[in-house]
Amino acid sequence: MPEQTTNTNGVGNRAPEFTLTDQNDNQVTLASLLEQGPLVLYFYPKDESAGCTAEACGFRDSFEDFVAAGARVVGVSADSPASHRNFAAHHRLPFTLLSDRGNRVRRAYGVTATFGIIPGRETFIIDRQGVIRHRFSAQMQPLKHIAESLRILAELKDESSATTA
């Protein structure tokens, strides 16, 4: 396991544990998400907004690439489970959306508001051991989150292959 360090962006630190409700009204924990491998945890401002829809559909369109990388994709916003259910159905999203109604998890991960008012758009790559391996923020470039996530997952896979060889 990588040495735990303290830094301002959380990379190298343990990801904060959480329990949130998904679009199907199920309780989901970070630990349960990590059981299957690395996690792409992305925070976004709002269901059905233009940038958030583009980002969600980008993750959807690259979903098989994430599966091939052994990773799970999960989106988080303050929208209700019902809003997430409608958003996921409308755009055929094959991944989990979590409702962070009080923004407690957003705050725990240090995701700040853009211009002080728009909930931040940040993506975290968390390895199977629960360590944050990468953090990426680009409020106005939602599709960069998909490419950046896949790039980091490939690096982690290469790193893993090198250590087991």
The catalytic residues are 52
Retrieve residue 106's tokens.
């957003």
Instruction: Please state, in angstroms and rounded to a whole number, the distance separating the CA atoms of residues 23 and 33.
Output: 15
Could you tell me if 73 and 42 are in contact, meaning their C-beta atoms sit under 8 angstroms apart?
yes
Secondary structure of 65-131 in the HEC alphabet?
A: HHHHCCCEEEEEECCCHHHHHHHHHHCCCCCEEEECCCCHHHHHCCCCCECCCECCCEEEEECCCCE
